[in-house]
Amino acid sequence: MEYLDNLNSNQKEAVVHENGPCLVIAGAGSGKTRVLTYRIAHLIKNGIDPYSILALTFTNKAAKEMKNRIEKIVGTEARSLWMGTFHSIFARILRTEGYKIGYPPNFVIYDTIDSKNLIKSIVKELNLDPKIYKENFVYNRISNAKNRLISPLEYKNNPIFQEEDSSSLRPMISEIYKKYTERCFKSQAMDFDDLLYNTNILFAEHIDILNKYQQLFQHVLIDEFQDTNYSQYLIIKRLASVNRNIFVVGDDAQSIYAFRGAEIRNILKFEDDFDDLKTVKLEQNYRSTKNIVNAANSVIDKNKSKISKEVWTENDEGELISIKKSFSDNEEGKIVSNLIFEEKNRNQLTNSNFAVLYRTNSQSRSIEEALRRIGLKYKVFGGVSFYQRKEVKDLIAYLRFSVNQNDEQSFRRIINYPRRGIGQTSVEKIITISNKENISLWEVVTKSSTLLNSRINNLLIPFRDLIISFSNFSKNNDAFSTASHIASNSGLLKELWDDRSIEGISRYENVQELLNSIKEFIDNEENTEKKLDNFLQEISLMTDQDKGEEEEEGEYISLMTIHMAKGLEFPVVFIVGVEEDLFPSQMMISSREDLEEERRLFYVAITRAMKKLYLTYSKTRYRYGMLKDCEISRFIKEISPIYLDIENFNVTKSLVKNVIKEKTKNLSPIKKLKISSLPAGDPSQIDELIEGKKVKHHIFGIGTIKKIDLNSNQKKAIVNFKNVGEKTLLLNFAKLKVIN
Q: Is the peptide bond before 152 cis (omega within 30 degrees of 0)?
A: no
Cα atoms in the Cβ-side hemisphere of radius 13 Å centred on 425 = 5
Measured CA angle at 84 (ends 226, 150), to 5 deg: 55
Handedness of CA 284, 289, 295, 299 (dihedral sign): negative
The DSSP result for 15-30, as a single string, is: HT--SS-EEEEE-TTS
Determine the 3-state secondary structure of 75 from DSSP: coil
Determine the 3-state secondary structure of 358 from DSSP: strand
Residue 709: how many other CB atoms lie within 10 Å: 12
Compute CA 314 distance to the chain's CA centroid, rounded to the nearest angstrom.
29
Contact of 558 with 381, CB cutoff 8 Å: yes
Residue 19 backbone phi and psi in degrees, to 5:
-135, 165
Q: Which helix (H) or strand (E) segment is 473 a member of?
A: helix 454-476
Length of the chain in terms of residues written: 740
Residue 2: how many other CB atoms lie within 10 Å: 6
d(C-alpha 422, C-alpha 302), whole Å: 56
Assign 3-state DSSP to the chain and report helix, strand, coil percentages, each to 5. 55, 15, 30
d(C-alpha 73, C-alpha 42), whole Å: 9
Determine the 3-state secondary structure of 170 from DSSP: coil
d(C-alpha 293, C-alpha 297), whole Å: 6
Contact of 338 with 374, CB cutoff 8 Å: yes
Task: Read off the amino acid at residue 514.
Answer: L
- Tell which residue, 43, 46, 38, has the closest CA to residue 73: 38
The DSSP result for 94-149, as a single string, is: HHHHGGGGT--TT-EEE-HHHHHHHHHHHHHHTT--TTTS-HHHHHHHHHHHHHTT
Beta bridge pairs of residue 613? 573
**What separation in angstroms does the CA of 112 have from each of 140, 143, 181, 388?**
10, 11, 15, 22
Positions marked catalytic: 32-33, 223-224, 254, 608
Residue 212 backbone phi and psi in degrees, to 5:
-55, -45
Contact of 112 with 192, CB cutoff 8 Å: yes
d(C-alpha 631, C-alpha 725), whole Å: 29
- Tell which residue, 246, 157, 258, 239, has the closest CA to residue 196: 239
- Tell which residue, 369, 361, 367, 371, has the closest CA to residue 391: 361
Residue 650: how many other CB atoms lie within 10 Å: 17
Determine the 3-state secondary structure of 220 from DSSP: strand
Q: CB pairs under 8 A, 24+ apart, for 584-592?
A: 584/633, 584/634, 584/635, 585/359, 585/360, 592/304
Residue 610: how many other CB atoms lie within 10 Å: 20
Measured CA angle at 578 (ends 572, 583), to 5 deg: 120
